[in-house]
C-alpha cells in the first residue's frame, strides 16, 4: 500500500500545482513509472511511483493549484489490499477549469468505504517524504522548524515563517532570522481587498500567474529589497574575442562551434577566481566566498526565465562549457531542468545582445553577490592613438550587492574582465 503525497521537490517548496495525471484510476503502475507532473518553483517535475500496484484513488484533480507539500494526492494499492484512506475527501479541481475528472468518489471507493478501514490509523509516509506530515502551525505544507521566540516575534510582526531561511541548528528559524526578515515577507492574507474602480474586465484580460511567475516575482522583489544594488559600466572591445572565436571554430565541427557567450562565461570564470570577493554570497553574519565559479546563465522562457548553472566553469574547457550551455538551454526550454541544475551557483550572466540592447542593468539573482549584464557588440568609431578608427564594442554592466561587493572591488573585477576579453589569450594562462 502506498499513499502518494505531494513531494517537496525543492527545499523552499511549500506548495505546487498538480499539472497533469499521466495515469487513470484503475491503471496498473510499476515502480519508477511517471504518474504525474507537478509545476513547482521553476519547472515542471515528474512524480514517479515508488511501488508496484493499482492506482486506486486520485485524490487531487489535475489542474489544482496550491497543493501543500505532504498532502495525499493518490493511493496505489496491491491487488486485494484495503484502502487506508477512510473517508478522506478528494480535493476538488478549481472551479475555473471544470473537468469531468473533478470527481466524486468512484463506486469502487464507496464500496470500500462501506467496509471498516484497517486499524492503521495513519498512512505511513513514503521513503522520500520523511518529513512530519501534520503542520501544527500552518494552513499549508510541512512542519516549520522555528524557535518559540522566533514564532512569537513573527506573529507579532506578521511575518510568514515559511518564507524564511533558518540559520539555527539544522536550519531552524531563530529570533535573528525573523528580525532580519524584510517587510516584504509579511503575510498578505490579512490584507484588505483593494477598492476597484469601475469593472475593468471589459478593457483588460486577466492572466493567471503561474507558480514559476510567482517565484520569479518574489525572488526578484526580495533581491531588490534586500540587496543594495549598484551598477558599474564598462565599454569593452570585442574584436580580439571575435577573432579568437573564429580561429577556434574553424577547427570545430558545426555541432561543437562555440558562441561569444561561451567565451564570455570562461572569461568571467577566470575573473571570479582572480577577484573572489565578487564570487561571494551575503549570509547575514558572514559572507560566503565560493571556491569555484558556478556561473548561472539566464535563459528566457515563455512566461518566465530560468538560470541553469555551469558548475565550476573555471575548471572546465571552453568546449565543455559550450556543450553544457547548449544542453542546459535546451532542457530549460523543454521544462526538463532538474532542481540541482538551477539551484545555487555563485554568479550570473545575462546576455541581451541578441536583441540589439546596447546596455542594461540586471537584478541580482539571490544568493549571488553580482550579475553581469551583456549588451550587443556594435561596430563603432573609436579613438586610438589620436586617430578615429572603428572597433566592435560591447557594454557590460555589473550589478553588485553592496553588502558583499564594494565599488572598488567591483571595479577591479570589471577591469580584469575587460583585460581578459580584449586579450583572450590570457584565458589560457
Partner 1 sequence: MSDKSTYDLVVIGGGPGGYVAAIRASQLGLKVAVVERENMGGVCLNWGCIPTKALLRAAEIYHLAATADQFGITIGQLSFDPEKVVKRSRDVAATLSAGINHLMKKNKITVYAATAQLREKSGEDWQITLDKGDPLRARKVILATGARARHLLGITPDGENIVTYRDAMTPKTMPKHLIIIGSGAIGMEFASFYADMGVNVTVVEAADRILPVEDHEISAMAEKAFMARGITIHKGAKLEQVNASKAPATGVKARVAIDGKTTELSADRLILAVGITANVENLGLEEAGVKLDRGHVVTDGFGQTNVKGIYAIGDMTGAPWLAHKASHEGVIAAEHIAGKSDGHTMKATDIPGCTYCRPQIASVGLTEKAALDAGYTLKIGRFPFRGNGKAIALGDDDGMVKTIFDQKTGELLGAHMIGPEVTELIQGYVVARQCEATEAELMQAVFPHPTLSEAMHESVLDAFDRVIHF
- Residues labelled as active-site residues: 402
CB 144, min distance to partner 1, A? 14
Rounded Cα gap, residues 180 and 168, in angstroms: 13
> Cα(first)–Cα(last) distance of the chain, in Å?
60
Question: Can residue 336 be called a binding residue for partner 1 (CB under 8 A)?
Answer: no
Tell which positions 136-155 bind partner 1, by CB under 8 A.
Answer: 147-150, 152-153
Question: Can residue 175 be called a binding residue for partner 1 (CB under 8 A)?
Answer: yes
At 109, give phi and psi (nearest 5°). -65, -40
* Torsion 64-70-75-76 (CA) sign: positive
Q: How many residues bind partner 1 (CB under 8 A)?
A: 14
Question: Can residue 285 be called a binding residue for partner 1 (CB under 8 A)?
Answer: yes
Rounded Cα gap, residues 327 and 166, in angstroms: 34
Q: Near partner 1 by CB under 8 A, which window of 25-33, 59-67, 278-286, 387-395?
A: 278-286
CB 136, min distance to partner 1, A? 14
Burial group, residue 253, by CB count within 10 angstroms (0-12, 13-18, 19+): exposed
Rounded Cα gap, residues 364 and 383, in angstroms: 34
Instruction: Count CA within 13 A, CB hemisphere, residue 354.
Output: 7
CB 381, min distance to partner 1, A? 48
In 3D space, the residue among 229, 265, 227, 228 whose CA is nearest the CA of residue 366 turns out to be: 227
- From candidates 139, 195, 250, 286, binder to partner 1 by CB under 8 A: 286
Q: Near partner 1 by CB under 8 A, which window of 167-175, 186-194, 262-270, 372-380?
A: 167-175
Nearer to partner 1, 117 or 366 (CB): 366
Where are the strands (E) in 163-298, listed by range?
A: 229-237, 280-282, 287-289, 295-297
- From candidates 160, 167, 222, 423, binder to partner 1 by CB under 8 A: 167
Question: Can residue 174 be called a binding residue for partner 1 (CB under 8 A)?
Answer: yes
Question: Can residue 420 be called a binding residue for partner 1 (CB under 8 A)?
Answer: no
The residues that touch partner 1, with contacts defined as CB under 8 A, are 147-150, 152-153, 156, 167, 169, 174-175, 283, 285-286
Amino acid at each position: 500500500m502506498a499513499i502518494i503525497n505531494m513531494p517537496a521537490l525543492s527545499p523552499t517548496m511549500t506548495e505546487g500545482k498538480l499539472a497533469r495525471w499521466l495515469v487513470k484510476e484503475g491503471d496498473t503502475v510499476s515502480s519508477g513509472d511517471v504518474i504525474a507532473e507537478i509545476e513547482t518553483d521553476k519547472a515542471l517535475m515528474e512524480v514517479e511511483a515508488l511501488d508496484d500496484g493499482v492506482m486506486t484513488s486520485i485524490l487531487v484533480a489535475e489542474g489544482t493549484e496550491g497543493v501543500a507539500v505532504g498532502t495525499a494526492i493518490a493511493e496505489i494499492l496491491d491487488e486485494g489490499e484495503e484502502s487506508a484512506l477512510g473517508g478522506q475527501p478528494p480535493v476538488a479541481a478549481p472551479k475555473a477549469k471544470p473537468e469531468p475528472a473533478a470527481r466524486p468518489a468512484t463506486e469502487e471507493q464507496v464500496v470500500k468505504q462501506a467496509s471498516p478501514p484497517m486499524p492503521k490509523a495513519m498512512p505511513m509516509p513514503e521513503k522520500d517524504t520523511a518529513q512530519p506530515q501534520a503542520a501544527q502551525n500552518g494552513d499549508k505544507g510541512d512542519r516549520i522548524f522555528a524557535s518559540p521566540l522566533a514564532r512569537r516575534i513573527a506573529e507579532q510582526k506578521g511575518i510568514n515563517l515559511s518564507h524564511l531561511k533558518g540559520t539555527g541548528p539544522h536550519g531552524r528559524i531563530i529570533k535573528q532570522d525573523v528580525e532580519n526578515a524584510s517587510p516584504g515577507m509579511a503575510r498578505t492574507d490579512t490584507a484588505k481587498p483593494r477598492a476597484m474602480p469601475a469593472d475593468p474586465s471589459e478593457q483588460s484580460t486577466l492572466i493567471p500567474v503561474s507558480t514559476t511567475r510567482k517565484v520569479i516575482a518574489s525572488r526578484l522583489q526580495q533581491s531588490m529589497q534586500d540587496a543594495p544594488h549598484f551598477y558599474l559600466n564598462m565599454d569593452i572591445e570585442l574584436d580580439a574575442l571575435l577573432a579568437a572565436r573564429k580561429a577556434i571554430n574553424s577547427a570545430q565541427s558545426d555541432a561543437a562551434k562555440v558562441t561569444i557567450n561561451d567565451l564570455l562565461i570562461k572569461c568571467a570564470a577566470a575573473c571570479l577566481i582572480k577577484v573572489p570577493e565578487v564570487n561571494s554570497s551575503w549570509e547575514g553574519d558572514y559572507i560566503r566566498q565560493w571556491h569555484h565559479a558556478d556561473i548561472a546563465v539566464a535563459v528566457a522562457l515563455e512566461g518566465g526565465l530560468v538560470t541553469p548553472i555551469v558548475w565550476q566553469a573555471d575548471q572546465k574547457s571552453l568546449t565543455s562549457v559550450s556543450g553544457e550551455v547548449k544542453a542546459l538551454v535546451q532542457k530549460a526550454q523543454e521544462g526538463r531542468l532538474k532542481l540541482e541544475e538551477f539551484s545555487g551557483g555563485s554568479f550570473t550572466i545575462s546576455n541581451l545582445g541578441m536583441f540589439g540592447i546596447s546596455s542594461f542593468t540586471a537584478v541580482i539573482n539571490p544568493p549571488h553577490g553580482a550579475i553581469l549584464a551583456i549588451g550587443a557588440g556594435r561596430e563603432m568609431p573609436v579613438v586610438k592613438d589620436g586617430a578615429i578608427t572603428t572597433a566592435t564594442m560591447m557594454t557590460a554592466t555589473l550589478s553588485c550587492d553592496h553588502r558583499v561587493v564594494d565599488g572598488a572591488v567591483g571595479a577591479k573585477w570589471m577591469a580584469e574582465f575587460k583585460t581578459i576579453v580584449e586579450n583572450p589569450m590570457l584565458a589560457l594562462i
